[in-house]
A and B are shown apart, each in its own frame.
Chain A
Amino acid sequence: MRSNDMNRSRYPGAFSVQKAGALAEPLAVRLLLVGCTLFFLSLFLLMPLGALFSEALSKGWQEYRAALIEPDALSAMRLTLVTAVFCVPFNLFFGIVASWCTAKFTFPGKSLLVTLIDLPFSVSPVVSGLVYVLVFGLQGWLGPWLQAHDIKIIFAVPGIVLATVFVTFPFVARELIPLMEAQGREEEEAALTLGAGGLQTFFRVTLPNVKWGLLYGVILCNARAMGEFGAVSVVSGHVRGATNTVPLQVEILYNEYNFVAAFAVASLLALLALVSLALKTFTEWKLRQFQKGGA
C-alpha cells in the first residue's frame, strides 16, 4: 500500500490520463454534464452570494459602512469574536486530548467516547441550546443556585460561549482521530526509546505530524463558532447590543425590514466563509502533501 501511494504521488497525471482515455464520454454528454453543474452552482451558490452583496451595497458604500459601524452591529461583532476566542482554544485543547487518548491508547469505553464526540453533529442545534436552558435556566437544575450566587449564564455571554463550545466540540477531534490512528504509535515509541520524555515526544513528534490536520480542524471550528445560529439563538435572549452575535443581529435586522443593514452584516459572514474556504483549501492541500510524503 505504501509503495502504491508513493507511485501515485510521483506520477499524479498517469492515472487520470488513463481514466480519461478509457472512460471518455462524447463531447455533447460532457458539455451537458458540465453545463448542469455550472447551472446549479450559479443558481444555488453564486446567485445568492451576488444578491447578498448587491443588496448590501444597493444604497451605496455610505449606507453599507454606516450599517457596519452602527453600535449594535459592532457589539455583535465583538461578541462573536469573544465567543470564538473562548471556543476555539478550548476545543483545540479538548480535540488534541481526545484524539491523543483515543488514537494512541486502548481503554474500556473508548468507542463510547468516540461516539459521544460525534453527538453534537447528530443533535439539532436547537436541542443543544435547550439543554443548556434546562440545566442553567431559571427553572433549570442549577438555576436557583446560580441566581442565589448572582451568576448569569443563560441570556448572557457565558451561555452563548457554552452553547457554541458544545456545537463546535467535534471539529478538531474528528479531524485528528483518523489522522493519528493512521500514523500509529511507532514514531512515539521510537522517540521514547531514544530517551525523549512525554512532553518532548508530544511537541517534537506527535504535534508536527498532525499540524496541518489540526489547523484544518481549527479553521472549521472557527467558522462554525462564528456562524452558529440555532443553539446560540436559544440561549442568547436576543438582547440588542448585549447578547446578540452577528448571525442573530442579521436575523433581527431582517425581521425589521432593514434589508440593507441585514445584508451588510450578513456580508461579513459571507466574507468569513470565503476566507475560511480559501484557508481550508490551502491546509487540505498541505495535509495531502504531508501525508503523501509520509514515510
Chain B
Amino acid sequence: MSIEIENVSKRFGAFAALEDVSLSVPSGELVALLGPSGSGKTTLLRIIAGLESVDDGRVLLNGEDASPHDARQRKVGFVFQHYALFRHMNVFDNVAFGLSVKPKKTRPDKEAIRSKVFELLKLIQMEHLWDRYPSQLSGGQRQRVALARALAVEPRVLLLDEPFGALDAKVRQELRRWLRQLHDEIHVTSVFVTHDQEEALEVADRIVVMNRGKVVQEGTPSEVYDHPANPFVFDFLGKVNLFHGRIDNGVAQLGGVRLPTSVPISGGDGPAIGYVRTHDIEISRHGNGIEDITAQVRGVLRVGPLVRVDLLHAGGEQLEVDLSRDVAEVLALQVGEQVFASPRNVRFFVNDYQI
C-alpha cells in the first residue's frame, strides 16, 4: 500500500518539527528516512502512524485521506526504538496481543491465533523462546519480537523508528541484513527512521534525507550518495574534505590550489566550497599533471580495513584520505614527507547555505 504525504507541517510550541513536507512512498518499497537528530524524521513517522496529529497538510494511505482514522484504525505496524514490549507478558502473549484485542466478530479463534503466532515466531527464529519475558531477552531478540508483534495484525504499512539504534554494532549488522531479507519475502510497504547513513545505504530501496524539518533529497541509495543535491547531503552521507575558495570564469581556485572541474559548476562565479569524498583522493609520490595538489603527510592511521592518511595541502587546509590497505602498503607513506594528492569527483557548491 502506498503512502502519500502532502504538505505536512507540524510545530511543537515554537519549534517547527516539520515544514511543508511532501513525500510519496510507492507500494512495496522499503524507504529510509535519514537525517540528524531533530530533523523531524521520527515526527514524520509518528504522523504516518497517527500517533501525532498534523498542523497542516494531510497523509494519504493507499490514496485515501487517513486523517479521519486514528492510530487504532490505520492498520499500520509500528516498531518502537526501545521496543515497547509489554513487560508483563511473555513473548507469545506479546505477539498475540494485536489478534486477541480484535472485536469478537473478527477475532480468530484460540487455535488460529496460536498457529499464527508460532508462524511469526518461526519467521524471527524464536519459537523456542515463546514463554520468555522481555526482561529475559537480549536487545536483538526484543527487537525481533517487537517486529513480529507488529506483523501479527498484518499491517498495511510497517513503520520502524530507529529499529537498530539501541543495539551493538554486530547485532545491528545482522539485524539489518535480516530486515532486508524479510522485506524481500513479505513485501509490505515499510518506512524506517535512521540517523546512520550506512544503514540507510545498505537496507533501503529509497532514501529520503531530512534536515531541519524538511526533505532535502530523495532517491535511490546510489543517487543520493553519488549525486548529493546540496552540501548538507554530501556531508551527511559519508566523509568529505572541504576546499574553501572562489570560482572565477568556471575555474576553481580553492585555497591557492587549482582544482579540476569534472562536473559543471553550478551557480556561477563567487565564493565556493569544493567537496571531495575521502576515498576519492589518490596519493602519489610523482605528480601526474596539472590536477595535483602538493601536500605533506601529517599522520597515518590504520582503521580496520582502511588506512586513514591526514594531509596538509599547500593551501593550508587539512585533508583526510582513506586508502585501501593494499594501496597504503605499496606506498608506505612516512609522516612528514611531501606527496601529491589528486582529487576525483570534486563537487562545487557556490552558494553555501547549509553547513
Contacts and interface: CB of A to CB of B under 8 A. Distances in A.
Interface of A: 6, 186-187, 189-197, 200, 204-205, 208-209, 290, 292-295
Contacts, number: 80
Nearest to B88: A208
A194 B98 contact: yes
Contacts of A194: 97-98, 101, 149-150, 152-153
A193 B83 contact: no
A209 B88 contact: yes
B86 A205 contact: yes
Contacts of B134: 295
Given A194-B150, A294-B87, A189 B78 contact: yes
Contacts of A294: 87, 135
Contacts of A192: 51, 70-72
Nearest to B49: A193
A194 B152 CA distance: 9
A189 to B, nearest CB: 6
Query: What 3 pairs between A and B have smallest CB-CB spacing?
Result: A295-B134, A194-B98, A186-B84
B245 interface: no
B71 A187 contact: no
B85 interface: yes
B78 A190 contact: yes
B87 A209 contact: yes
Given A186-B84, A190-B146, 9 more contacts: A190-B80, A190-B85, A193-B51, A194-B97, A194-B98, A195-B98, A196-B72, A196-B101, A295-B83
B209 interface: no
Interface SS of chain B: loop
A143 B16 CA distance: 55
Nearest to B80: A186
A202 to B, nearest CB: 12
Contact of B72 (A186, A195, A293): A195
B78 A193 contact: yes
A194 B49 CA distance: 11
B102 interface: yes
B87 A193 contact: no
A146 to B, nearest CB: 46
Contacts of A187: 84-87
Contacts of A190: 78, 80, 84-86, 146, 149
Contacts of B142: 295
Nearest to B82: A186
Given A186-B80, A195-B153, A295 B87 contact: yes
A191 B77 CA distance: 11
Contacts of A186: 80, 82, 84
A295 B135 CA distance: 5
Interface centre among B50, B88, B149, B153 (most CB of A within 10 A): B88
B51 A196 contact: no
A293 B85 CA distance: 12
A293 B84 CA distance: 14
B17 interface: no
B163 to A, nearest CB: 14
Contact of B84 (A189, A195, A197, A292): A189
A203 to B, nearest CB: 10
